[in-house]
């Protein structure tokens, strides 16, 4: 399979970027998207040209680093997968593929397709820790948790922090990510101790870092590779309002 790649090139966050066109030939339909970029880079290096900079790590859909905007969609045309899990059979032979980095003030470009997503780390750090003392390994049923709550917590914890929700939101909102991190603790008894402080601190940090407000278009849920539900945003809003009202009464 042959493809024409229109790739965003940018030296750093301060430089002016532009699209450059590259061609790749004889790509296997079973080749992953990142492997295709590897082949392109090998060819560029052989020609003594600068390779394309892009993020990757696990290549198993776990780490969330392969954050690319492909043909106008975060992580490409498939639903529920990351870029590293997508294969070239998803594209027609001879087609043009446009590849861009995430677009957000809070995610400045490092180089080419790489962006700085450390803003997510700062939000998680603002949330602090869970102070429940567990001692040794507790028995499975020592803290009874209803199955539906445990399932919802695990669903929220599936968020890999890739940033697709921010990239697809017209306001570059991080509400889906933050709400998932709030929900995974708020739903469990172990997370109740710091719950009020946690949600206020994480929302404040999100606003401080320049993320926009929720647009209520559900685009974040539609493009999330882990299918995180927007119901978490409603839960975070309830937690935040409850914490604010509690603080006023105190």
Rounded Cα–Cα distance for residues 83 and 69 (Å): 9
DSSP element (H, E) containing 141: none
For the four alpha carbons of 169, 171, 173 and 175, in that order, the dihedral sign comes to negative
Q: pLDDT at residue 64 above 80?
A: yes
Q: What is the mean pLDDT of the chain?
A: 93
Q: Categorize the per-residue pLDDT at 189 as very low, low, confident or very high, splitting at 50, 70 and 90.
A: confident
Q: Is the pLDDT reported for residue 42 higher than 80?
A: yes
* Tokens matching residue 12: 């750093």
Q: How do residues 134-152 score in pLDDT, each as one tens digit?
A: 566 666 566 678 889 999 9
Nearest-CA neighbor of 194 among 249, 130, 241?
130
pLDDT level of residue 242 (50, 70, 90 thresholds) = very high
**What is the Cα–Cα distance from 221 to 115, expressed in whole angstroms?**
21
pLDDT at 161 over 70: yes
* CATH annotation of 118-249: 1.10.1060.10
What are the start-end ranges of the E strands in 69-197?
69-70, 73-74, 96-100, 109-111, 114-115
- Average pLDDT for 3-28: 96
With beta carbons less than 8 A apart as the criterion, state whether 80 and 19 touch. no
What confidence score (pLDDT) does residue 190 get?
85
Four-way CATH pick for 3-110: 3.30.365.10, 3.10.20.30, 3.40.30.10, 1.20.1440.230: 3.10.20.30
- Note whether 229 and 164 are within 8 A (CB): no
The predicted-structure confidence for 228-238, as pLDDT tens digits, reads as follows 999 999 999 99
Beta-strand ranges (E) seen in 10-101 are 18-24, 69-70, 73-74, 96-100
The proportion of the chain whose per-residue pLDDT surpasses 90, expressed as a percent, equals 86
* pLDDT attached to residue 137: 62
At residue 243, the 3 state secondary structure works out as helix
Q: What percent of the chain has pLDDT over 70?
A: 94
Report domain extents, the chain.
3-110, 118-249
- Is the per-residue pLDDT at 250 higher than 60? no
Average pLDDT over residues 168-178: 96
pLDDT the model gives residue 142: 67
pLDDT tens digits, 104-118: 999 999 999 999 999
Say how far apart CA 78 and CA 81 lie, in whole Å: 7
What value, to the nearest 5°, has the Cα angle with vertex 236 and ends 211 and 205? 35
Looking at residues 214-227, what average pLDDT do you find? 94
**Gap between the Cα atoms of 156 and 14, Å rounded:** 35
Residue 148 to residue 157: CA distance in whole angstroms: 14
- Predicted structure pTM score: 0.91
């Amino acid at each position: 399979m042959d493809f024409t790649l229109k790739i965003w090139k940018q030296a750093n966050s301060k430089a002016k970027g532009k699209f450059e066109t590259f061609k790749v030939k004889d790509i296997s339909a079973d080749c992953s998207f990142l492997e295709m970029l590897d082949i392109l880079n090998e060819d560029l290096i052989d020609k003594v040209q600068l390779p394309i900079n892009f993020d990757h790590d696990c290549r198993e859909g776990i780490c969330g680093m392969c954050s690319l905007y492909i043909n106008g969609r975060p992580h490409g045309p498939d639903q529920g997968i990351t870029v590293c899990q997508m294969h070239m059979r998803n594209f027609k032979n001879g087609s043009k593929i446009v590849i861009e980095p995430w677009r957000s003030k809070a995610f400045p470009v490092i180089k080419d397709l790489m962006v700085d997503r450390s803003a997510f780390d700062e939000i998680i750090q603002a949330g602090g820790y869970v102070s429940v003392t567990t001692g040794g390994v507790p028995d499975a049923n020592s803290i009874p948790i209803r199955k539906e709550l445990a399932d919802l917590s695990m669903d929220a914890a599936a968020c890999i922090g890739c940033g697709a929700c921010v990239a697809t939101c017209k306001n570059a909102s991080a509400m889906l990510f933050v709400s998932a991190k709030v929900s995974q603790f708020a739903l469990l008894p172990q997370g109740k101790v710091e719950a009020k402080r946690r949600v206020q601190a994480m929302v404040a940090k999100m606003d401080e870092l320049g993320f926009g407000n929720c647009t209520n278009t559900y685009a974040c849920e539609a493009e999330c590779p882990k299918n995180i539900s927007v119901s978490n945003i409603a839960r975070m809003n309830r937690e935040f309002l409850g914490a604010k009202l509690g603080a006023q009464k105190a």
